[in-house]
Chain A
Amino acid sequence: MTMRFFGDTALLTGRTMRHITRSLDTILTVAIMPIALMLLFVYVFGGAIRTGSHHYVNYLLPGILLITIGMGISYTSLRLLTDMQSGIFERFQSMPIARSSVLWAHVLTSVVSNLISLALVVLVALLMGFRSGAGASAWLAIAGILVVFTLALTWLAVIAGLTAKTPDGAGAFAYPIIFLPFISSAFVPTHTMPAPVRAFANNQPVTSIVNTIRDLFAQQPVHTEIWTALAWSLGILIVAYALAMATYHRRVA
Chain B
Amino acid sequence: MTTQAIHVQGLEKSYKELRVLRGVDFGVARGSIFALLGSNGAGKTTVVRILSTLLKSDAGTATVDGFDVATQPADVRESISLTGQFAAVDEILTGRENLVLVARLRRVEGPGQVADDLLARFQLTDAAGRRVSTYSGGMRRRLDIAMSLIGNPPVIFLDEPTTGLDPQVRVEVWNGVKELAGQGTTVLLTTQHLDEAEHLADRIAILHQGRIIANGTLDELKRLLPPAKVEYVEKQPTLEDVFLAIIGNDDTGADDPTTAQTAKEQR
Would you list which residues of chain A between 82 and 125 have a CB under 8 Å from chain B?
86-88, 90-97
Distance of A90 Cα from B105 Cα, bound (Å): 14
A-B contact count (CB 8 A): 63
Q: Pick the residue among B73, B80, B92, B93 that contacts A23 (CB under 8 A).
A: B92
Cβ of B93 and Cβ of A18 under 8 Å apart?
A: yes
Cβ of A88 and Cβ of B102 under 8 Å apart?
A: no
B247 CB–A CB distance under 8 Å: no
B87 CB–A CB distance under 8 Å: yes
A-side contacts of B93, CB under 8 Å:
15, 18
Q: Pick the residue among A8, A90, A252, A253 that contacts B88 (CB under 8 A).
A: A90
Would you list which residues of chain B between 145 and 164 have a CB under 8 Å from chain A?
147
B-side contacts of A92, CB under 8 Å:
105
- Sort chain B's interface into a size bin: 20 to 34
What is the CB-to-nearest-CB distance from B48 to chain A, in angstroms, rounded to a whole number? 10
Would you list which residues of chain A between 124 and 163 have a CB under 8 Å from chain B?
none
A19 CB–B CB distance under 8 Å: yes
Q: Pick the residue among B55, B56, B88 that contacts A91 (CB under 8 A).
A: B88
A22 CB–B CB distance under 8 Å: yes
Interface residues of A (CB under 8 A from B): 8, 11-12, 15, 18-19, 22-23, 86-88, 90-97, 252-253
Extra contacts, 20 of them, besides A19-B92, A87-B87, A94-B53 (Cβ < 8 A), are A8-B105, A11-B101, A15-B93, A18-B92, A86-B89, A86-B91, A87-B84, A87-B86, A88-B89, A88-B90, A90-B82, A91-B88, A91-B147, A94-B52, A94-B54, A94-B80, A96-B77, A253-B53, A253-B55, A253-B73
Interface residues of B (CB under 8 A from A): 52-56, 73-74, 77-78, 80-82, 84-93, 97, 101-102, 104-106, 131, 147
